[in-house]
Chain A
Amino acid sequence: MVAERAAAHDAALGTGGPGMISIDTDGCRVADAATLVATAAGWPGRR
């Protein structure tokens, strides 16, 4: 039920707006996902 709602929320975002960064976290470690996000946004990517 919760997972279905999460999937519905994901669908509600559609394809996103222009300039939106999209990061797939499937199988990602937290540190790796944070590096992807920070790098894509131009923020410091490493501790």
Chain B
Amino acid sequence: MSGHVLLICGPAGVGKSTIGFEVYMRALAAGLCARYLDLGQTGFVRPDPPADPGRRQLMARNLAAVWRNYHAAGARHLVATVPAGTAADVQAFADALPAATVAVCRLRAGRAELTRRICPAARAAAGRSPAIRCAASRLSTWRWSPSERQRTTRRSAPEVPA
């Protein structure tokens, strides 16, 4: 399955989902048949399978399956955000897509910046449900321009995980 896959990795709070979705929207606007996947959403299994601590293999198989299905539906571009892990985890995800052209992008931010992005939302959201906390964390992560805030607030609502 030929095509182009962009894997975006990095620590929590660095902006994987926000930036990944923006890149995806730009691909759509450019006329590409693109799809978006938050790979972490495909790995909600507790406890970890004994043979697959961290669920890397599970998510790699899910990535391959989702890409296969998207590809069969006409997609040739995929933006996938991948949960925090090791370089070996990211390599395993790339290896799951042998026929695709895979680009891996690691997002970084300094410790002080990650703290600034994560902690205010966590404090403000104390007592709210996990889903609300997650949404609050995402929406306060970046220094929004007014137009970005309007666009991203509208887009982010359906992305809130359980």
Contact = CB atoms under 8 A, between A and B. Distances in A.
Interface centre among B85, B87, B90 (most CB of A within 10 A): B87
What's the interface size class on B, roughly? 35 or more
B12 A6 contact: yes
Contacts, number: 149
Contacts of B10: 9-10, 13
A42 B18 CA distance: 19
Contacts of B8: 37
B53 interface: no
24 contacts: A3-B13, A3-B111, A8-B11, A9-B10, A9-B84, A13-B90, A13-B106, A16-B90, A23-B106, A25-B113, A27-B143, A30-B18, A30-B152, A31-B145, A33-B15, A33-B107, A34-B19, A37-B107, A38-B23, A38-B27, A43-B4, A43-B23, A44-B30, A47-B25
